[in-house]
Amino acid sequence: MPSVTKTTLAVLAAATMLAGAAAPAAAQQEPLSGDLRIFLDTSNPAPRAAMEGMIARFQEMHPDLEIETTIIDREAYKTQLRNFLTANAPDVATWHAGNRMAPFVEAGLLEDVSDLWDEEISRDLASTKGSMTMDGKQWGVPYTYYQWGVYYREDLFEQYGLSAPETWDAFKENCRTLLDNGVKCFAIGTKFLWTAAGWFDYINLRTNGYEFHMDLTAGRVPWTDERVRATFANWRELIDMNAYIDNHTSYSWQEALPFMVQGDAAMYLMGNFVVAPLREAGLSDDQLGFFQFPAIDASIPMAEEAPTDTFHIPAQAQNKEAARAFLRYVADPENQTIINAELGQLPVNSRATIEDDEFLTAGFAMLSSAEGLSQFFDRDAPAEMAKAGMEGFQEFMVRPDNLDAILQRLERVRQRVY
């Protein structure tokens, strides 16, 4: 450690001298100095490149800053975050909006960045301000979000004379035709559980609406409620049709992709990140289509899932001034345009432009007219409830007859957690 401190001091000293000389030149931008340690969970190739590009541009704007970037595997990050927020915290760290950041805010591990959310940023990032706010303060800034929906094989649909369904009945009708022709309706891999939660979220949003879904994930409704049962009854219709690929508990979501690519399954309910691997696997945009999850109850307005990824400043950060400047740059419309084009996702900043892409345009239109945006089951519900819930969903998909036992178990967890 001593040597590190020494270098830091040296850099600081050098930077201060430089700053003294250059101060008049950069009037509107205080030259930043010192170290800026950034921890990222963007370990997949495309997000990694996008983040590295962004950091390089930020570095160019602040040449005196010693930026040190650490990229941690996305799954490992979820557990490591707790450790590094409490000891030896970085200056900036990625995480997620909504309930997922709640435990850290409550434990006082994240910096209150309400000062960044001035009028301009609040207006530009209005769509996610709610999910970044706790106790009336903001705790980070979002950099991207993406839509969920049904990705399907347009060529298979054409072959069997199907069109993108808008109602639940049409949805099931399509599925029946596909099954009669020996094609499974839905690819899914539930080994890591969360994919099943996507189905639950959507069927529940369509059966009971946004308010109810939010009440349920916030623990205000018992799991044994009749309306929850109605959701599962709708879901069961698909399960009883054998609409899902067999042995889905053995696969991760990536391992289920070949079914879709080879035409053994025609649809995949997934986030927009599924497009990149499908294209890489050789599906052209003519073969691949997207539609909004169909309405089940016509009287219920359509709400959508749009998980938001965010940047935060740990409370124990050393260089909060530089960290704030970095977060401001993250929120910048021009920057969000660039990184989201690389990520293949949607910018949160309303002044950013969306890349010309069939799926992003469709997603943007869909989210703009949505009744409400949910984050995703494991971000809306507290961690423990999410875990128990997703396990229950997976069990239900394999053994739908166990529903009563599953719901009672979830209800017990709910009563303990909230």
Partner 1 sequence: MVAVATPPRGATRKAEAPTAFGGYWRRNQLALAPWLFLAPGALFFALYVVAPILQSFQISLYEWDGLGAKEWVGLRNYAELWWDDAFWTSLRNNVIWLVLYLLAIPAGLFIALFLNQTVAGIRIYKSLFFFPFVISQVVVGLVFSWFYDPTFGLFNEILGVFGLGPIAVLGDPTFVTYGIIAAGLWPQTAYCMILYLTGLNAVDPEQIEAGRLDGARGWRMLWYVVLPQLRPATFIAFVVTIIGALRSFDLVSVMTAGGPFGESRVLAYYMFEVALSEYGFRMGYGAAIAVVLFAIMMIYIAFFLAKMYRDERGA
**Residue 47 near residue 343, CB atoms below 8 Å:** yes
CB of residue 255 vs partner 1: minimum separation in angstroms? 9
* The one among 24, 79, 135, 180 contacting partner 1 by CB under 8 A: 79
Q: Which stretch binds partner 1 (CB under 8 A): 77-85, 211-219, 295-303, 321-329?
A: 77-85
- Using CB under 8 A as the binding rule, whether residue 162 contacts partner 1 is answered as no
* The one among 48, 137, 191, 320 contacting partner 1 by CB under 8 A: 191
Q: Which stretch binds partner 1 (CB under 8 A): 127-135, 222-230, 348-356, 387-395?
A: 387-395
CB of residue 10 vs partner 1: minimum separation in angstroms? 35
- Using CB under 8 A as the binding rule, whether residue 195 contacts partner 1 is answered as no
CB of residue 247 vs partner 1: minimum separation in angstroms? 4
Applying the rule CB under 8 A, the residues between 223 and 252 that interact with partner 1 are 246-251
- Using CB under 8 A as the binding rule, whether residue 346 contacts partner 1 is answered as no
Q: How many CA atoms lie within 13 A of 72 on its CB side?
A: 16
CB of residue 272 vs partner 1: minimum separation in angstroms? 22
Residue nearer to partner 1 on the CB measure, 111 or 395:
395
* The one among 202, 292, 392, 403 contacting partner 1 by CB under 8 A: 392
- Using CB under 8 A as the binding rule, whether residue 383 contacts partner 1 is answered as yes
* The one among 30, 73, 75, 371 contacting partner 1 by CB under 8 A: 75
Which residues of the shown chain bind partner 1 in the complex (CB under 8 A)? 75, 78-79, 82, 86, 103-104, 106-107, 109, 190-193, 246-251, 378, 383-384, 386-387, 391-392, 394-395, 398-399, 409, 412, 416
